[in-house]
Structure 1
Amino acid sequence: MKGIPISTILITGCSSGFGLASATLFANRGWNVVATMREPRENILPPSDRTRVITLDVTDPQSIAQAVDAAGPIDALVNNAGIGLLGAVEGTPIPVARELFETNTLGTIAMTQAVLPQMRERGGGTIVNVTSSVTYAPLPLLSIYTASKAAVNAWSDSVAIELEPFGIRVRTVLPGRAPGTSFAANASDRMDGAIPEPYAPRAERVFAGWQSDTGPVTSADDVAEAVWLAVTDNRALTHIPAGADAIALAQAR
């Protein structure tokens, strides 16, 4: 393989779940991987001279600039960093809603803005935005989370047309319910006060459903494979469902 350039991918939110699985997959398949997270941990990825773990907070402009500069030329960006929320809209404080949009929506836009100049100058690149299958089939008590991800879907569709003349592709990956990841824990951390008493019985059922591993579900490896497809296959769909449940929802539309 000497003389053949190795591509570099930067993935946000790699401390666990989808991001960690995607970083591991790309490293195992020969890519240079820049795995980012707010609080880097040693030995989170298998030892390799192709991987780097660096600090990144997608809500902090200075952190973004430093991470992109440290990464060097980036051929693919995966906007995976995100947080969950399970709560009734009536009981969710606006600062909590704002936190979701700052990370899930504006963080994606900010990261994309940071890498676009170098991709445009080189005449190519791929941007993959990880959203959610709840944008196919909305569920109760997930309205603000769903809105933050649906906004990214719509934004991706528009910016894909905008960037096509520069050889830059934009794709979205839409995972299904993934009980083995940190979504439920992240969501429960923000539930305090967001579930008024009249909503509590239903919230318990919805939360239990998200945590259950029965029925069709999505694994972190499912998402990693979908991200691989989005990055490496020029024929891939603009929106790629990941996981058996997400695929079924997409087919039912």
Structure 2
Amino acid sequence: MSIPPATDQAQGPAIQVQGLEKSYKELRVLRGVDFDVARGSIFALLGSNGAGKTTVVKILATLLKADAGTARVNGFDVGTQAAGVRQSISLTGQFAAVDEILSGRENLVLVARLWHRKNPGKIADDLLNRFSLTEAGSRRVATYSGGMRRRLDIAMSLVGNPPVIFLDEPTTGLDPQARIEVWQAVKQLAEGGTTVLLTTQYLDEAEQLADRIAILHQGRIIVNGTLAELQQLLPPAKVEYVEKQPSLEDVFLAVVGDSGEDDHDRQTTSTEK
């Protein structure tokens, strides 16, 4: 199954949202949301629980209809061209949607066959290599760590080569090392030309990953810009000479290492042998 050709508007932003509104009875979740996402960029939709982040993603993924406003994804209108939108995107939810009984490779082959892709085995092998899962590819997913499952989940989202991918709070519940692994995978997506819309409630996640950040609060985008632009909204800090100290991430990686395989993985591999 191939992605349909994009319309002329697709030469502009990958995602265009204007005046999006959504209510559930008396509860107004979205009150006129506007933003654009440039192609090949990472756009972070930042907000607390209940801010409406997942509602925005569901509307863009054609899983939910907006009450008002317009939205286009890869040039296709989410209201009138849903089929084109669905073939242009992939959605990764807050929890990994992988089959624990199957191996990592079998999960990928299964999805490739559902997409009617040629050479599903080669596609699986390429994605395992891309996400540093080759050695674990033959193991049952039940033995994977949280970070490995999430990386596999994202890899499965790319089987159809979608130009746009939605990641809805992809690191929820993950430990620090697993979060860093997922961050690296997300950065690789953008480097490969994929447009990523990321929803998160973690400030450091938006800071680490996003080319642009929009803060969604009480159903509205209250600020939208690059990290540097957002930082300029506050008064400049007083300049003083301070010896640079290593960040917490530097300390964490120095202590546990950056091999991408935790103790659980090594113990599991040892047991299987």
**Which has the larger share of strand?**
2
Q: Which structure carries more helix by proportion?
A: 1
Q: TM-score, normalised by structure 1?
A: 0.26
Greater Rg, structure 1 or structure 2? Answer: 2
Q: TM-score by structure 2 length?
A: 0.24
Task: Give the number of the structure with larger relative contact order, counting CA–CA contacts within 8 Å between residues 6 or more apart.
Answer: 2
